[in-house]
Chains A and B, each alone.
Chain A
Amino acid sequence: MAGSTLELKRISAVSTAPPGVRETTVVSKYIDTTSCIGCKACEVACQQWNDLPPEVTVQFGTYQTLPDMTPSFWNLIRFEETEVDGAQAWLMRKDQCMHCADPGCLAACPAPSAIVQYVNGIVDFNQEHCIGCGYCMTGCPFNVPKLNKTTSKVYKCTLCVDRVSVGLEPACIKACPTGCLQFGSKPQMLHLAEQRVARLKENGFANAMVYDPPGVGGTGVVTVVAHGDRLASYGLPRDPSIPLAVTLWKKPLKWLGNLGMIAGVVVAGLHYLKFGSKPEPEAKEPEK
């Protein structure tokens, strides 16, 4: 898209500074799991807007459409039936790419421009630059990117970057009938979430919380949960961050390796200049 380079905040596998200078609002989704009715209109809207082929649903004993997201199913309502304080509870959460401020997928990606982060916070995959290595699947702390084996490219929620960039809300938000999904600036969405949590606490949900994990710099998805002590039941990691292995590999190991390889070649050159080749035995007359 013309001018889109002005909106690039981070680019995978590019060592020079990203060109983004445009100042725009950081956007966020707001997901209130406490007023979600599990209708899955957001799942359908996502499939429809993005022209994704229908996935055959899998029945595995819950109201969840599929066990996990797939390369062509980017928005999944996770469902868990459980007991909270002796009462039955249906815990539902809209799962998709979290659009981390500090994205692990982008840190792990070796292909220049395959993963970008826009100044508005959206993390997007450019399939035309993707090489299908799957490193983003190792770098993501939320298990979001999915590899399509036919195209050898990785896919995930784009936060409807095509809609957002022309001033529309994402398709999933548009479709939500209860208003449990909202879209706006990150501070607005956080404010909304804090208000909702305060009301939940008044109503007896002592562990209600806003999920905006600081380990990944916060996410472009602000989630309200009623039972903050049971994040695992919502399929949310308690304190996600870029995996240590990815950080070690992309920072100290890489620089140590670069230095080592350059040093190896330089030392070989210096050795040759100082000592030269090994002396060979005197050439003898060929034997008759």
Chain B
Amino acid sequence: MTIERYSFQERVIHWTAGLTYIYLLLTGLAFYSPTMWWIAGMLGGGPVIRYWHPVAGLAFVATVLWMYKAWRRDMRLSDLDRKWAKGIVDYVSHQDHKLPPVGKYNGGQKQFFWVMFYGALALLASGMILWWTEAIPWSLRWVRFAAVLLHVAAFLVTVAGFIVHVYMGTVVVKGGLTAMTSGKVTKEWAHHHHPLWK
């Protein structure tokens, strides 16, 4: 017996966000470090990824804004989530029975959502400035400096979230990945991982 966890539209948006983020991550790593420059060669060369990186960035931010519109109510952190977060060590060591029950999303999933949401806004704001550096007059060059630092800081924060998200969704919680591909989970799965859902 399966139930729907993610609608078709939600899945399309999630994977658009995922694929654009992976493209941004790979091209961003090439810009970030000479040791990762080989990625530039794989993806068409420096000028090509310089052209597409900001365009993909706009697509990524658009999907994040859509997610905000659709999911922000589900993602609101409750007192129960804060209690859950205190037991994070039990969650990590798979002693879930010691934790308060969770709804459609647990505290970790919710915090990941907000990390990516605010991270995307910071990346957008700083990225627009890096995109058109020459438009920022020399007298306001501190804006360029702030943008450089904010872009790399926000990048690192979202990468941390991304690593945890991919690891949890594909390896740790079985059924997580298929929930996002087929949209469906079993009743038992829902009851086991998200007892307060619905």
Q: Which residues of A are interface residues toward B (Cβ below 8 A)?
A: 13-15, 110-112, 129-135, 137-138, 143, 146-147, 152, 243-246, 248-249, 253-254, 256-258, 260-261, 264-265, 268, 271-272, 275-284, 286-287
Cross-chain contact of A268 among B31, B33, B148, B167 (Cβ < 8 A): B167
A38 to B41, CA, bound (A): 47
Chain A residue contacts of B34, Cβ below 8 A:
13-15, 110, 112
Question: Which of A245, A264, A281, A287 is B192 in contact with, Cβ under 8 Å?
Answer: A281
Q: Nearest 3 pairs between A and B by C-beta?
A: A245-B145, A134-B133, A131-B46
With A132-B50, A246-B145, A264-B159: A112-B37 Cβ-Cβ less than 8 Å: yes
B188 contacts partner chain A, Cβ-Cβ < 8 Å: yes
Residue numbers in A under 8 Å from B50 (CB-CB): 131-133, 152
Given contacts A132-B47, A281-B192, contact A138 B1 (CB under 8 A): no
**B15: Cβ under 8 A from any A Cβ:** no
With A254-B32, A258-B33, A260-B160 as contacts: A249 and B174 at CB distance below 8 Å: no
We find that the number of chain B residues with CB closer than 8 angstroms to chain A is 46
Closest CB in chain A relative to B61 CB, distance in Å: 19
Find the B residue at minimum CB distance from A136: B133
Q: Are the C-beta atoms of A249 and B94 separated by less than 8 Å?
A: no
Known: A134-B133, A246-B148, A260-B160. A280 touches B46 (CB 8 A): no
Pull 10 A–B residue pairs with CB atoms less than 8 Å apart, ordered by A.
A14-B34, A112-B37, A131-B46, A137-B144, A245-B144, A253-B156, A257-B152, A264-B163, A280-B174, A280-B175
* In the bound complex, CA of A249 to CA of B94 (Å): 38
Q: Which residues of chain B are within 8 angstroms of A279 by Cβ–Cβ distance?
A: 94
Contact yes or no, A277 B160, CB < 8 A: no
Contacts of B93 in A (CB 8 A): 275
Complex Cα distance, B171 from A268, in Å, reads 10
> What residue in chain B is nearest A146 (Cβ atoms)?
B134
For residue B173, CB closer than 8 A to chain A, the reply is yes
Partner of A134, one of B51, B134, B141, B153: B134
> Smallest distance from the beta carbon of A214 to chain B beta carbons, Å?
21
- Cβ contact within 8 Å between B145 and A110: no
Q: Which of A254, A278, A286 has the most CB of B within 10 A?
A: A278
B134 partner residues in chain A, CB cutoff 8 A: 134, 137, 146-147
| Inter-chain contacts of A134 with B (CB < 8 A) | 130, 133-134
**What residues of chain B lie closer than 8 Å to A280, measured between beta carbons?**
174-175, 189, 192
> In the assembly, what is the distance between CA of A271 and CA of B149, in Å?
31
CB of B188 within 8 A of CB of A275, answer no
Indicate if the CB atoms of A281 and B188 lie closer than 8 Å.
yes
Residues of A within 8 Å of B188, CB to CB, are: 281-284
Complex alpha-carbon distance, A111 and B40, angstroms: 10
Instruction: Give a binary string over B76-118; 1 marks a CB under 8 Å from any A CB, 0 the rest.
Output: 0000000000000000111010000000000000000000000
For B31, the chain A residues whose CB sits under 8 A away are 110, 133
Known: A134-B133, A264-B160. A277 touches B46 (CB 8 A): no
Q: A246-B148, A249-B148 are in contact. Are A272 and B171 (CB under 8 A)?
A: yes
